[in-house]
């Protein structure tokens, strides 16, 4: 499984070109250290999208994979890190992309934007293409990372103005509502959902009962 920098450098030739320029751009974005939608999140979604693309590598050409990875890197660029309508964050991301997109990628701007729009929460623009479904699943799956406690209970909670207790209490209904739309995500994260729900229940029992 590739590391983030191997994906950025395209060490194994899985897509067209490389993403060094875009990596520099998001590394210096204004939201690198917001509580949840930060550089770690943007890079994790990029990594997960690459993993999904490799699962479907016989169904996606190298140009499409590049477009998906650019969308993943920029999908939360300029996120305000506060509880506002997510359409504002999507607008920030696609505006920044238009300003920074390389000439060789400009003709694919609309396609890349369609993938970014599919990450809006709650969903407003539904795109059925495989790359759009991969990025949506990858974005949701970030909450299932193994080091989720601080990221979700404290980081995301701070952004949406909920206490760690409120975040924990909301996890079971949220997790039960998650619907992954790709076979790739279902295979990887399906069991993690059940495990996380059990983990949350045990944490609530220790902390608040």
Q: For the chain, what are the domain ranges?
A: 4-208
Nearest-CA neighbor of 46 among 126, 139, 156, 146? 139
pTM over 0.85? The answer is yes
Contact 159, 83 (CB under 8 A): yes
Give φ, ψ of 120 to 5 degrees: -65, 140
Compute the distance between CA of residue 47 and CA of residue 175 in angstroms, rounded to an integer. 22
What superfamily in CATH does domain 4-208 come from? 3'5'-cyclic nucleotide phosphodiesterase, catalytic domain (1.10.1300.10)
Write a three-state SS string for the chain.
CCCHHHHHHCCCCCCCCCCHHHHHHHHCCCCCCCCCCCHHHHHHHHHHHHHHHHHCCCCCCHHHHHHHHHHHHHCCCCCCCCCCCHHHHHHHHHHHHHHHCCHHHHHHHHHHHHHHHCCCCCCCCCCCCHHHHHHHHHHHHHHHCCCHHHHHHHHHHHHCCCCHHHHHHHHHHHHHHCCCCCHHHHHHHHHHHHHHHHHHHHHHHHHHC
pLDDT in the model for residue 153 = 96
Compute the distance between CA of residue 174 and CA of residue 170 in angstroms, rounded to an integer. 6
pLDDT in the model for residue 68 = 98
The Cα-based distances of 38 to 76, 120, 122 in angstroms read 8, 16, 19
pLDDT in the model for residue 122 = 78
pLDDT in the model for residue 126 = 81
Compute the distance between CA of residue 116 and CA of residue 107 in angstroms, rounded to an integer. 16
Contact 121, 136 (CB under 8 A): no
pLDDT in the model for residue 156 = 97
pLDDT in the model for residue 1 = 83
Give φ, ψ of 156 to 5 degrees: -65, -40
- pLDDT, averaged in runs of 10, over the chain (209 residues): 96 98 97 97 98 97 98 97 94 98 98 97 83 97 92 96 97 93 95 93 95
């Amino acid at each position: 499984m590739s590391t983030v920098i191997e994906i950025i450098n395209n060490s194994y030739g899985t897509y067209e070109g490389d993403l060094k320029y875009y990596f520099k751009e998001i590394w210096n974005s204004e939201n690198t250290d917001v509580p949840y939608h930060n550089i770690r999140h943007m890079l994790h979604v990029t990594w997960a999208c690459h993993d999904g693309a490799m699962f479907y590598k016989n169904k996606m050409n190298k140009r499409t994979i590049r477009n998906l990875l650019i969308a993943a890197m920029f999908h939360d660029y300029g996120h305000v890190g506060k509880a506002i309508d997510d359409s504002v964050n999507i607008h920030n991301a696609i505006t920044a992309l238009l300003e920074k997109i390389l000439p060789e990628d400009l003709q694919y701007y609309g396609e890349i934007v369609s993938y970014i729009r599919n990450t809006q929460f709650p969903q407003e623009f539904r795109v059925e293409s495989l790359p759009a479904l991969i990025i949506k699943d990858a974005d949701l799956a970030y909450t299932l990372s193994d080091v989720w406690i601080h990221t979700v209970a404290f980081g995301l909670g701070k952004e949406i103005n909920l206490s760690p207790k409120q975040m924990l209490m909301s996890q079971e209904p949220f997790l039960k509502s998650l619907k992954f739309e790709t076979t790739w995500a279902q295979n990887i994260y399906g069991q993690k959902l059940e495990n996380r729900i059990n983990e949350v229940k045990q944490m609530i029992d220790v902390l608040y009962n």
